Structure 1
Amino acid sequence: MLVIVSYDVSTETKAGRRRLRRVARVCEGMGQRVQKSVFECKVDAMQFEELERRLLAEIELAEDCLRFYRLTEPVELHVREYGKFKAVDFEGPLVL
């Protein structure tokens, strides 16, 4: 499944800036950044649960915001891209 993760972490304090970096690191490990605080993650049900658990462990519910959007198949009908950034095709060949 394709999951969009978006977050808004309060960075008014030093602890908030650390939380922001930790949240971004978790997301980078599971998907690709499409905007500063938005990631696309191609995951199965178990990976989604792990991602959600890890992110909830990092954020401060009273100060931050975390949202997950699960896109239904076929994804091509639900995602339109415009502009410079082009997302990686998770299903295509990996070329190094």
Structure 2
Amino acid sequence: MELLITYDVETTTPEGAQRLRRVAKICEGYGHRVQKSVFEITCTPTTRLQLEAALTRTINHTRDSIRVYQLDRGAFSAAHHLGAAIEAPHDTPLVL
């Protein structure tokens, strides 16, 4: 399945800045950063549950927001880019 993850983490406090870094690190472990707070992720249903559980444990539920969009298969390869965009290698293994 293909997921688009976007997030907005409150960073006016040191704790918020730490949460922002943790959210980014979690997402980097599952997919490709395509913008500052946007990730494209190709995963299985089980992996999605693991990702969402990790993000749920990390955020402040009253100050932070994460949106998870499930896209049709092939949506990433059909995306049209404008400006300085790089193609994320979704068809190759993710190496950390």
TM-score by length of 1: 0.88
2:71 aligns with 71
| The structure with more helix, counted as a fraction of residues | 1
The alignment status of 1:32 with 2:32, answered yes or no, reads yes
Question: Structure 2: how far apart are the matches of 1:74 and 1:31?
Answer: 15
Please, which runs of 5 or more residues in structure 1 have no aligned partner? none
Structure showing greater Rg? 1
Q: CA deviation at 1:87?
A: 2.2
Q: Percent identity?
A: 39
Aligned-residue Cα RMSD (Å) equals 1.8
The alignment status of 1:45 with 2:8, answered yes or no, reads no
Residue type of the alignment partner of 2:11: T
SS at structure 1 position matched to 2:88? coil
Question: Structure 1: how far apart are the matches of 2:87 and 2:68?
Answer: 18
1:4 aligns with 4
Q: CA deviation at 1:93?
A: 8.7
Question: Structure 1: how far apart are the matches of 2:3 and 2:49?
Answer: 11
TM-score by length of 2: 0.88
Please, which runs of 5 or more residues in structure 2 have no aligned partner? none
1:6-25 equivalences under 5 Å are 6-25=6-25
2:82 aligns with 82
Q: How many residues align?
A: 93
Change (3 A) 1:56 1:92: closer
SS at structure 1 position matched to 2:17? helix
SS at structure 2 position matched to 1:33? strand
Q: CA deviation at 1:73?
A: 2.5
